[in-house]
Amino acid sequence: MLVFPGCKINIGLRIVSRRDDGYHNLETVFYPVPVHDALEALPNRHSPTDEWTQTGLTIAGDPANNLCLRALALLRQQLPPDTIPALCMHLHKAIPMGAGLGGGSADGAYMLRLLNDQFGLALPRQQLLNLALELGSDCPFFIDPQPCFAWGRGELMEPLPLQLSGYELVLVNPGIHVNTGWAFGQIKPAQPASSLAELVQLPVAEWRQQVINDFEAPVAAAHPAVAQLLKQLYAQGAVYAAMSGSGSTCYGLFAAGTVPPQAWPEGYWCRVLAL
């Protein structure tokens, strides 16, 4: 079976408080974006062991720690032996890693979905959401990706009637890795005056001063290329520009048909997408 995990942008991201479990309470708006990896899993008819291969963009770290393989192991722990046979799995990576787009989280969640469908496991949605949360805080979003307001660790979600179909999205990643732990360490949690769930209902042209990503200021200060990237998106005519997640991918929302030709330094990753 072949599936195509997508990614997301964060429209605003506020760090509300620290939690006793070491995580933070936050609020954000997740919006699905049509950039996709490709993930395939088939029964291995040649060997009694799993086989894993990957192509495309580089994935840092030990392949054994890939969220797809962790998702497979997690499911096997929940099921009778041999429910899921040895598999041949392949991931083609097109979404940059560690970029604030949730690409790795999507891969893990889509593996849960793929296995549930392929082997007729009939796991209910809530169980899939619970399993996804064990993989990562934003993995549950990708069980059923649709615009939503998220809070808690990011696992509590409520669908939002947010449509950006009159806009085009420019995604730019400057190839800078932002350490998530460092990024959280730069934030002083605070309760925002207004909820993002309400603010994103305003016209997009009013978002600039009100829909805020708390990570943007410290990351831009530490990495001037991010600050310059945001400045350039606005100079190109973006109605709203921001950093996604803890960075370093930035995006600009442009009225449809107004995106100028894109020219970024060598090593930058860029996509122009209709929403």
Residues belonging to the active site:
8, 138
> What is the amino acid identity at position 126?
Q
Q: How far apart are CA 4 and CA 106, in angstroms?
A: 9
Name the 3-class secondary structure at 223.
coil
Read off the tokens for 57: 């963009």
The answer for residues whose C-beta is within 8 angstroms of residue 7's C-beta and 6 or more apart is: 32, 33, 35, 36, 95, 101, 102, 103, 106
For residue 115, which of 99, 127, 98 has the smallest C-alpha distance? 127
Strands 167-173, 269-274: parallel, antiparallel or unpaired by DSSP?
Answer: antiparallel
> What is the amino acid identity at position 74?
L
What's the alpha-carbon Rg for the chain, to the nearest Å? 19
State how far the alpha carbon of 248 is from the alpha carbons of 175, 216, 228, in Å. Answer: 8, 9, 12
| Matching residue, tokens 């009694």 | 48
Q: How far apart are CA 50 and CA 42, in angstroms?
A: 10
Name the 3-class secondary structure at 128.
helix
Q: How far apart are CA 56 and CA 118, in angstroms?
A: 25
